[in-house]
Amino acid sequence: MSMTARSFAALLLAAAGICAGRTAHAQPPSDSPSITAPRWSIWLDVGKLEPDIDSFATFYGDNQMDQWGVGFAYAFRPWLEAGAEVGRAHADGVGILAGQGVPGGHVDYTLWPAHAFVKVRGLFRPRQLFVPYLGVGASAAYYEQEIDGQEKRTGTSELGAGARVGLEMYLNRLDGDTRGAYGDGAVKQTYVFLEWQQFSTKQNGAELGGDQWVLGVKFGFGRDTARGGR
């Protein structure tokens, strides 16, 4: 089993352990506050993507690409979400002259990764300030590469796998108007999050995935979902 496959397996086992632990706990007493969350959430993030491409830094001057992403999720329970995300990463550098193998003209490389995933959140009490989470799912990507003097190259990858681990901070706790609970408007909960992602997806044997760190803000809205379901 490859290192990536072992990592995915470990994450799946950890997710299963969290789910099992939550199921084993009895329902809280009637006078205890329920753990609730909005049904829907959207987010924006920015960060750096490190492609798993040999000699990437040689031709682009750096081993990372600037990237941004947008996504949404649906909460089946406050601790269990399914979502999707699409992003864009870009880098420019110096290409290789066709047939000569030496540095040539300017090159632009753009990657559009897309992910679908299930995420388990470590949400154990109401108004919890820090919420860790992990997720696993499927990934694919579309790329464009333009090199001076050469034909533009484009392609779509095969379906691959992805994983993410992160930490959310509950901003409502820091807002006196919400008193650590829900907002009165359309946005009920707001989180800022730091996340590490890893995904692997190939196109004609070439790896288009990589590792990335992102910083984002997440907004929750819609009807509530409680720990026991509603």
Token pair for 216: 């984002």
Q: Is the pLDDT of residue 31 over 70?
A: no
Predicted TM-score (pTM) of the model is 0.77
The CATH code of the domain at 3-23+39-223 is 2.40.160.20
The structural domains of the chain, with segments of one domain joined by +, span 3-23+39-223
Which residues on neighbouring strands pair with residue 164, listed in sequence order?
Answer: 135, 197
pLDDT confidence bin for 227, thresholds 50/70/90: low
Q: Which of 151, 147, 62 is nearest to 106 (CA)?
A: 147
C-alpha 87/C-alpha 181 separation (Å) is 31
Per-residue pLDDT at 37 exceeds 60 = yes
Mean predicted confidence (pLDDT) in 118-139: 95
Read off the DSSP letter of residue 30: T
In percent, the amount of the chain with pLDDT more than 70 equals: 75
- CA 1 from chain centre, in angstroms, equals 24
188-212 average pLDDT score:
93
CA distance 14 to 51: 26
Confidence of residue 104 (pLDDT cuts 50, 70, 90): low
Q: Residue 16: which H helix or E strand, with range?
A: helix 3-24
- At 219, the amino acid letter reads F
| 3 state SS of 60 | helix
